[in-house]
Amino acid sequence: MADRELWLRFLSGPDIDSLCISRQEVIGAVEHVVAEHGRGHTVFEPRVHLVPDNGGIGHFNVLRGHVSTLGPHGVSGIKVVGDFVPNHLQGLPSELGLVTLYDPTNGVPSAILDATGITEARTGAMTAAGAKHLARPDSKILGHVGARGTAFSNVTMLDSLFEFDEIRVTSRRPESREAFAEQLRAEMSTPVRVVDTAEEAFAGADILVEASRLVEPEPLLRTGVVEPGAFVVPYGTISAVELDLLEVMDKVVVDDWREARSGRFGALRRHVDTGRLSEANLYAEFGRIVAGEIPGRETPQERILLWHRGLSILDVAVAQMILTRAEQAETGTMVRYR
């Protein structure tokens, strides 16, 4: 018997944009899959890296995951995303990626999607979901370091959940931070203030997000600026936090402990490698909090840190949501696989 024809759907960046998926929908998809992870309804593997012989200008991340509760049999997926800091010199995003989705019962690929926007959106949604459960509800000042990649999603998604009085932004290049602020002002009514340094952005902030694009470790997020009640999210690829940062934290939360221990990169890599962050002083994986198994923030004075490295299951969940919407709208290009 001859093999049957197999077709898959290709969704480009413009295809995905045309679906007009809202920030709240992305946050909802991320919250759902994080809770499912906390309940043990996912199959998750820590990311692996491919570091080409390219002089250290960038590397690839390979993320693999499966979500059992999506569709009748679940959905499996793999994302490959580059992390190339100098891309702005070529007019390109720092992170370009593709995600492929598969039927876990027979291995048939169902879709290929541009994962550049997915990476940005799901990362911002994770930051927002973290703040929803771990920040003070009356948080008024957001300090954000970093102006590229996931920065726009971070700020706009957080702004959709909180009534901020002020958002402070900065980055290494003045032209970058000014352009970022203008982009935000065009999208939001919350006052956005550009500052020159990370210390100015973080001083007195209720929510502190470090999303820098460093090539060498540098302590941009200093321990002394973290005030009682603050919620801190450091997730730059290269560490930008002081080594004693965790000593002032009342709770340290990660998205997945195996992911936190894996790989060569990450904001708290040195803290894990030196034993400053271990299972002994880790409060929880975030999924258990979202699933309601343990409490998140319990007092207004708690200093809480969330380190999210970016789970593959977030990409699978958001990509599957997009694919379902695209099938309903008959959007994308059907490509014969075999």
Residues 123-175 have pLDDT tens digits of: 999 999 999 999 999 999 999 998 877 889 999 999 999 999 999 999 888 88
Is-above-0.75 flag for pTM? yes
CATH 3.40.50.300, applies to 130-311: no
Between 243 and 15, residue with greater pLDDT: 15
Q: What are phi and psi of 159, to 5 degrees?
A: -65, -25
326 has a pLDDT exceeding 90: yes
* Distance in angstroms (rounded) separating the CA atoms of residues 31 and 287: 9
Using DSSP, state whether 159 is helix, strand or coil: helix
Residues 6+ away with beta carbon under 8 Å from 175: none
- Residues 169/144, Cβ–Cβ less than 8 Å: yes
b/e 298-334 (16+ beta carbons within 10 angstroms → b): eeeebbbbbbbbbbbbbbbbbbbbbbebbeeeebbee
Q: Measuring CA to CA, how many Å separate 58 from each of 176, 215, 237, 290?
A: 20, 9, 11, 33
Inter-helix orientation angle 312-329/23-38, to 10°: 130
Instruction: Give the tens place of pLDDT for each residue, 55-101.
Output: 889 999 999 999 999 988 899 999 999 989 888 889 888 889 999 99
Residue 18 has a CB neighbour count (10 Å cut-off) of: 15
Domain boundaries defined on the chain? 7-118+313-336, 130-311
Q: Measuring CA to CA, how many Å separate 92 from each of 16, 69, 83, 86?
A: 18, 35, 11, 9
Amino acid identity at 27: I
**Assigned superfamily of 7-118+313-336:** ornithine cyclodeaminase, domain 1 (3.30.1780.10)
